[in-house]
Amino acid sequence: MTTAKRDTYTPETLLTVAVRVFNERGYDGTSMEHLSKAAGISKSSIYHHVAGKEELLRRAVSRALDGLFGILEEPGATRGRAIARVEYVTRRTVEVLVGELPYVTLLLRVRGNTNTERWALERRREFDQRVSELLKAAVADGDLRADVDIRLATRLLFGMVNSLVEWYRPQPGGPSEWEQLADTVVQLAFEGMRASR
């Protein structure tokens, strides 16, 4: 039997619990019952805060998407040479992934069975497209190699960056750790692993 505790949740703190459960069980595999048990409050208390689990999903992926799209509006992404902008966006994407890890993890696992999931997939494609255009501009400037298919390169770049959510676990007491991680990602993606000859 679940002992319901007094409901002191805000939509924000309830979201933290929901995202953890979604990531553990998958969004499809999570019922309102699971959310109620994990939060320790009744289902009707949850409905007091949100219309249902899809609203929780929408709020969670919005947070991840706002973080990612926010990068594209920053001066580092909008001014200067395309190659510098691409590197800036790559570094900041690593920072957002690390800073919003559970939210971005959920975003990247979305499959597209509900309207919210399809919308999230569409927004992800938009983001990839925007970065793809930056890569194209850097190729046109002669800074990136012209012999690589840009669509493929964008996918591989994000494949590398997004894999963080599968294996990266924040270390206690390492606030600047993401910077070293971002350095390595940028180095590998743009300079490659080979020693200079």
- Contact predicate 81/44, CB 8 Å: no
Q: Which 140-159 residues touch its own copies, going by CB under 8 A?
A: 142-149, 152-153, 155-159
Structure tokens at 61: 């992926």
Q: How many residues in the shown chain lie near its own copies by CB under 8 A? A: 41
Q: Which 116-135 residues touch its own copies, going by CB under 8 A?
A: 135
Gyration radius (Cα) of the chain, Å: 19
Structure tokens at 47: 């409905």
Nearer to its own copies, 40 or 109 (CB): 109
Nearer to its own copies, 71 or 134 (CB): 134
**Which one of residues 8, 166, 171, 173 is an interface residue with its own copies (CB under 8 A)?**
166
Instruction: Give the helix/strand (H/E) hosting 97.
Output: helix 82-99
CB of 88 to its own copies, least distance (A): 15
* Nearest C-alpha neighbor of 127 from the set 101, 163, 89: 89
Q: Which 62-91 residues touch its own copies, going by CB under 8 A?
A: 83
Structure tokens at 166: 């599968």
194 belongs to the binding site for its own copies (CB under 8 A): yes
- Contact predicate 160/154, CB 8 Å: no
Whole-angstrom Cα distance, residue 93 to residue 88?
8
Nearer to its own copies, 142 or 173 (CB): 142
Please give the residue ranges that form the binding site for its own copies (CB under 8 A): 25-26, 28-29, 83, 135, 142-149, 152-153, 155-164, 166-167, 181, 184-185, 187-196
